[in-house]
């Protein structure tokens, strides 16, 4: 897509936890604890079912403002259903968090991008084993000429991260309305020396998905945003999910996100970061959604209603290489990642944007799904947010 067209359009975790309960809790049909708001209908539930699940209730009750200001959780699947929310809509009014509010889902966007690419592969329009350069000869230099589309999607491409201005959260905040052009980000990345030969290791970065989305645009003659909307959002009825383009606002009801940073008076405190330009993430991290929509999406995905046939296996196949930074076995597939929790494999994707942490998780058979949105005050910190960790352990158990 040409830069002029894109400008017009713009104008319009790996899963990880620490030690917790030895086994996953047994879920009741519904839960509506007195101190945690819940949209679930409990009219047909027994008294014991209405009492809630202590582990999940405890995970989001009495949120410490130093960690998070709101938490929205949905657990589903054949093992039972639980809904809960806690915290506040904003720190000015302190009214309760809206359980149906929209939020920035960060790198959960990658699952949507991967799904579109796999649909195109199923249709014969996209070849996962062809090189990215063969699709984008004017953008991908010869030095990265052997990188395939599959390697873009499973993070084994060896292309370093694009250079984004700003080293601190304060610098990034001051620059939050900058519009980042995807082609320019790719040129910034590919101008650097490769981290490793394609297919030799894995390094989780956004750049592969930026290139993959440009490939999608090139072969369809359409925008990435319209392809996701046409192929996934509309067919699944995800009415509260959208791609914002360059708009820094979250449209519709949403709980405010806050970030710990240095304030104008020199002190350290919480700043409202709900309004922030999303173009640095684009197809790797810009989607806005709700827990209900993401729950519907992950259920449909795992049931084969989004990516059909053999290509769905790409999302549940880990490359047999080592992680570049740590040397551990690769944990990312095409679009998803895998972790063993509570004695079984769970698959999903986490995401972080300033003020918001999100996750979609499920067992492979869909017996237990989890979707959460936590308004973390350090959503891009080095360590996993403690509220997110507690939710994961409560839903699935410890590693």
- pLDDT, mean of residues 8-32: 34
- pLDDT, mean of residues 103-111: 98
Reduce the DSSP state of residue 216 to 3 states and report it.
helix
Of 92, 79, 77, 33, the C-alpha closest to 59 is 33
285-337 pLDDT, tens digit per residue, is 999 999 999 999 999 999 999 999 899 999 999 999 999 999 999 999 999 99
| 207 strand-pairing partners | none
pLDDT interval class at 382 (50, 70, 90): confident
Quote the CA–CA distance of 399 and 17 in Å, as a whole number.
7
Q: Say if residue 259 is exposed, middle or buried (CB neighbours under 10 Å; 0-12, 13-18, 19+).
A: buried
Of 391, 308, 288, the C-alpha closest to 346 is 391
pLDDT interval class at 384 (50, 70, 90): confident
Of 44, 40, 297, the C-alpha closest to 56 is 40
Reduce the DSSP state of residue 109 to 3 states and report it.
helix
Pair 279, 9: CB distance under 8 Å: no
Determine which of 32-46, 109-123, 229-243, 382-396 has the lowest per-residue pLDDT on average. 32-46
The 10 Å Cβ neighbour count of residue 380 is 14
Please state the domain extents for the chain.
3-396
Here the tokens at position 260 are 């710990």
- pLDDT, mean of residues 173-185: 97
C-alpha gyration radius of the chain = 20
Here the tokens at position 103 are 């939020």
pLDDT interval class at 232 (50, 70, 90): very high
The CATH homologous superfamily of the domain defined by 3-396: DD-peptidase/beta-lactamase superfamily (3.40.710.10)
> Running DSSP on this structure, what letter comes out for residue 120?
H
**Tokens 């027994």, located at residue:** 46
128-151 pLDDT, tens digit per residue, is 999 999 999 999 999 999 999 999
The 10 Å Cβ neighbour count of residue 278 is 25
Here the tokens at position 259 are 């970030």
The 10 Å Cβ neighbour count of residue 50 is 18
237: left (phi over 0), alpha (psi -120 to 50) or beta: left
Please give the mean pLDDT across all residues of the chain: 88
Quote the CA–CA distance of 323 and 179 in Å, as a whole number.
31
**Which pLDDT score is estimated for 309?**
87
User: Could you give the C-alpha distances from 77 to 44, 46, 97, 339, in angstroms and in order?
Assistant: 18, 19, 24, 18
Pair 257, 273: CB distance under 8 Å: yes
């Amino acid at each position: 897509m040409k830069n002029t067209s894109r400008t017009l359009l713009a104008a319009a975790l790996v899963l990880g936890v620490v030690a917790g309960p030895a086994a996953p809790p047994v879920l009741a049909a519904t839960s509506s604890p007195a101190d945690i708001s819940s949209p679930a209908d409990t009219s047909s539930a027994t008294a014991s079912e209405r009492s809630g699940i202590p582990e999940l209730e405890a995970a989001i009750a009495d949120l410490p403002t130093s960690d998070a200001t709101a938490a929205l959780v949905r657990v589903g699947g054949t093992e039972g259903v639980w809904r809960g929310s806690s915290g506040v809509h904003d720190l000015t009014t302190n009214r309760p968090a809206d359980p149906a509010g929209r939020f920035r889902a960060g790198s959960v966007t990658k699952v949507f991008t991967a799904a579109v690419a796999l649909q195109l592969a199923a249709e014969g329009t996209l070849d996962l084993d062809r090189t990215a350069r063969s699709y984008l000869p004017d953008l991908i230099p010869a030095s990265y000429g052997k990188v395939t589309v599959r390697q873009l999607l499973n993070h084994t491409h060896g292309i370093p991260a694009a250079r984004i201005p700003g080293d601190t959260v304060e610098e990034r905040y001051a620059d939050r309305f900058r519009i980042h052009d995807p082609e320019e980000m790719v040129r910034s990345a590919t101008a650097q020396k490769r981290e490793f030969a394609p297919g030799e290791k894995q390094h989780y970065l956004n750049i592969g998905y930026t290139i993959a989305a440009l490939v999608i645009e090139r072969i369809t003659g359409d925008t990435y945003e319209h392809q996701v909307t046409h192929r996934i959002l509309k067919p699944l009825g995800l009415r509260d999910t959208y791609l914002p383009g360059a708009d820094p606002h979250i449209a519709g009801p949403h709980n405010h996100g806050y970030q710990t940073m240095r304030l104008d008076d020199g002190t350290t405190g919480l700043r409202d970061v709900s309004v922030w330009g999303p173009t640095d993430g684009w197809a790797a991290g810009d989607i806005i959604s709700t827990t209900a929509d993401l729950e519907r999406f992950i259920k449909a995905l795992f049931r084969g209603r989004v990516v059909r046939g053999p290509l769905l296996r790409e999302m549940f196949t880990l490359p047999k290489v080592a992680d570049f930074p740590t040397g551990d076995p690769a944990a990312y597939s095409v679009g998803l990642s895998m972790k063993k929790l509570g004695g079984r494999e769970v698959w999903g994707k986490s995401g972080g944007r300033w003020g918001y942490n999100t996750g979609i998780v499920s067992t492979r058979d869909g017996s237990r799904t989890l979707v959460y949105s936590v308004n973390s005050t350090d959503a891009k910190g080095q360590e996993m947010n403690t509220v997110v960790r507690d939710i994961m352990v409560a839903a699935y158990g410890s590693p």
